[in-house]
Amino acid sequence: MAVKITTRAENYSQWYIDIILQAKLADYSPVKGSMVIRPRGFAIWEKMKSVLDSMFKETGHSNAYFPLLIPESFIKKEAEHIKGFAPELAVVTHGGGEKLEEPLVIRPTSETIIWAMYKKWIQSYRDLPLLINQWANIVRWEKRTRLFLRTTEFLWQEGHTAHASKAEAQEETLRMLFVYQNFAESFMAMPVLTGEKTESEKFAGAVKTYSIEAMMQDRRALQAGTSHNLGQNFAKAFDVTYQTQNGERDHVWATSWGVSTRLVGALIMAHSDDRGLIIPPKLAPIKAVIIPIFNNQNKSRVLSYAKVLFERIKTSYSTEIDDDEQNKPGWKFAEWELQGVPVRIEIGPRDMENDQVVLARRDTGKKITIPAKDLEETLGNLLEEIQNNLYHRALLLRKKNTYQIKEYAEFKEIFDGPGGFIESAWCGNPECEAKIKEETKATIRVLPLGRDELKNHNCIYCGSTADKIAVFSKAY
RNA sequence: CGGGCUGUAGCGCAGUGGCUAGCGCGCUCGGUUCGGGACCGAGAGGCCGGGAGUUCAAGUCUCCCCAGCCCGACCA
């Protein structure tokens, strides 16, 4: 037994790390807190990237690239922004062997450099809206890191838009939030809550921050994407104004939104099991793998039969064939399960004789035997079924572990015990939020969207009148 | 950034201050196997995380540094 994955029950954190290392998604780099994304991990990110990128294009955004290095003074222009990011900045003080006159910051996010440029590009309402996205790496000096979930350097996408009105910026903020929701649910098969962040969890420099939040298998929350309404904060800091239709000047209204390689971590923790990775078919770089089963007598016949089937499906279903002769089938089964390939196609002498193939699905492990002529159709349906099943499985987990709680004693009990999501009324006072965090380690993940204003409710903590529902959870 | 644990072959680990540092898996070669992680035989592979010290003698003792993991404060 070469490969051993710690079970989730034994140690959830170790399980997560084992999967990443064993499935060769990533590896630790020599620099503390940073990681190498290996081909198998990067392939998943590339898939995510291409789906998201086309969603951004469909909503009217164009890609551009802004530089990695930002003058330190830029970061300092927006008061809240610098306050939020100062502790996490990596600063370049030397270049070309000489001390720099002004230190350069490695971008922790690009608002400042982008708004410095937007000032040059925006003069009139005719220049608006300006809808730009960039795919980039960023650096935030993190004290405590975890593969994919929090590393010093990571890859992400950041959209930065400028608008002529407050309402339009708000509309854009929510539009992109829903793009993220759609991506998470339809492609990652990962149900998410959408909602607004509280003041304390808001992005430094935003007027409002919204996020999508998913429940991982250990019942903790993971923030999987954020969308910010920046109001006029950056426009004012960088003095970006435009001339309105009736000749007046106004500061422009802004949004920014992003998702990162953290999504790969989310994907792992949402679906995978004690045998290894499980990738939802829509994001799986390899959707099916053919394992020919042969011995010395029938090797050439089985292989050629398997290869005919392989040729039939390889382009429409991005299939691989594992015709290695060293490892036995059982070894291959385990190996490809570890890699998370959604469907395994077993083809042996028995199947060859009966014109059939065996399909094994990664999510449930169940095997079915089907006529070879039905392969394309059945495989297509099966992939769809797996995608749906993963989503519903994750949704069920969240439902089972979401509670509506009115009594603080009960609230505490849940976070002392199994954990999960708790929906409770909250008065809006940051002090109650802080106390709850102190006492239970749970934070407000979101104030969910689409909930009616509450009547006759009392704050879970202080008991005073509350008109908001908040979702509490321990979070990554 | 604090507290704990750990660094010995690619990976997982043994290794009373003493002579040539081992075991399992993996790797290479040859053969037999092949429907849920096969077996036999022969090999290759080590600055014992780095540095300084104590000692006749250090993988082993002391100090410093580095890295990783776990637990806390800060964060996508």
CA atoms of A410 and A419, how far apart (whole Å) = 12
Q: With 90 as the cut, is the pLDDT of residue A269 above it?
A: yes
Name the nt closest to A349 by C-alpha to C1': B35
Strand partners for A256 = A160, A228
Average pLDDT over residues A321-329: 92
Say yes or no: A236 and A299 in one domain.
no
Residue at token pair 């793998």: A289
Q: With 90 as the cut, is the pLDDT of residue A15 above it?
A: no
Q: CATH number, domain at A62?
A: 3.30.930.10
Determine the residue type at A391: Y
* Residue with smallest Cα–C1' gap to B69: A14
Residues 226-265 of A with CB under 7 A from strand B: 226, 260-262
User: Does A27 contact strand B, using a CB cutoff of 7 Å?
Assistant: no
CA angle A44-A47-A49, nearest 5°? 110
Say yes or no: A238 and A342 in one domain.
no
Average pLDDT over residues A27-32: 78
Could you read off the pLDDT of A400-435 as tens digits, one per residue? Answer: 999 999 999 999 999 988 889 999 999 999 999 989
Say yes or no: A296 and A367 in one domain.
yes
Secondary element (H or E) of residue A234? helix A233-237
Say yes or no: A96 and A165 in one domain.
yes
Q: Using pLDDT thresholds of 50, 70 and 90, give the confidence band for residue A1.
A: very low
What is the ipTM score, two decimals? 0.85
Strands A221-231 and A253-260: antiparallel
Say yes or no: A119 and A170 in one domain.
yes
Residue at token pair 């960039």: A134
Strands A402-404 and A421-426: parallel
Say yes or no: A160 and A63 in one domain.
yes
Say yes or no: A348 and A406 in one domain.
no
Q: Using pLDDT thresholds of 50, 70 and 90, give the confidence band for residue A62.
A: very high
Residue at token pair 């929701």: A181
User: Does A146 contact strand B, using a CB cutoff of 7 Å?
Assistant: yes
Name the nt closest to A88 by C-alpha to C1': B75
Average pLDDT over residues A199-222: 93
Strand partners for A472 = A422, A444
Say yes or no: A113 and A146 in one domain.
yes
User: Does A26 contact strand B, using a CB cutoff of 7 Å?
Assistant: no
Nucleotides of B under 7 A from a protein CB: 1, 25-27, 33-38, 66-76
Q: CATH number, domain at A366?
A: 3.40.50.800
Name the nt closest to A356 by C-alpha to C1': B35
Residues 426-445 of A with CB under 7 A from strand B: 441
Say yes or no: A36 and A150 in one domain.
yes
Say yes or no: A199 and A99 in one domain.
yes
User: Does A55 contact strand B, using a CB cutoff of 7 Å?
Assistant: no
Could you read off the pLDDT of A295-319 as tens digits, one per residue? Answer: 999 999 999 999 999 999 999 999 9
Average pLDDT over residues A125-152: 92
Domains of chain A: total? 3
Say yes or no: A203 and A246 in one domain.
yes
CA A416 – C1' B5 distance (Å)? Answer: 25
Long-range contacts of A270-274 (CB under 8 A, 24+ apart): A270/A188, A270/A189, A270/A190, A270/A214, A270/A216, A270/A217, A270/A390, A270/A394, A271/A189, A271/A190, A271/A363, A271/A390, A271/A393, A271/A394, A272/A19, A272/A340, A273/A8, A274/A5, A274/A7, A274/A8, A274/A15
Secondary element (H or E) of residue A249? strand A249-251
Q: Residue A23, Cβ neighbours under 10 Å: how many?
A: 23
Asked if residues A378 and A361 have their Cβ atoms less than 8 Å apart, the reply is no
User: Does A365 contact strand B, using a CB cutoff of 7 Å?
Assistant: yes
CA atoms of A99 and A231, how far apart (whole Å) = 37
In a domain, A283, yes or no: no
What is the average pLDDT score of chain A?
93
For A378, the domain range is 288-382
The values of phi and psi at residue A287, to 5°, are -90, -30
* DSSP string for residues in A322-345: ---SSS-HHHHHHHHHHHT-SEEE
Say yes or no: A228 and A306 in one domain.
no
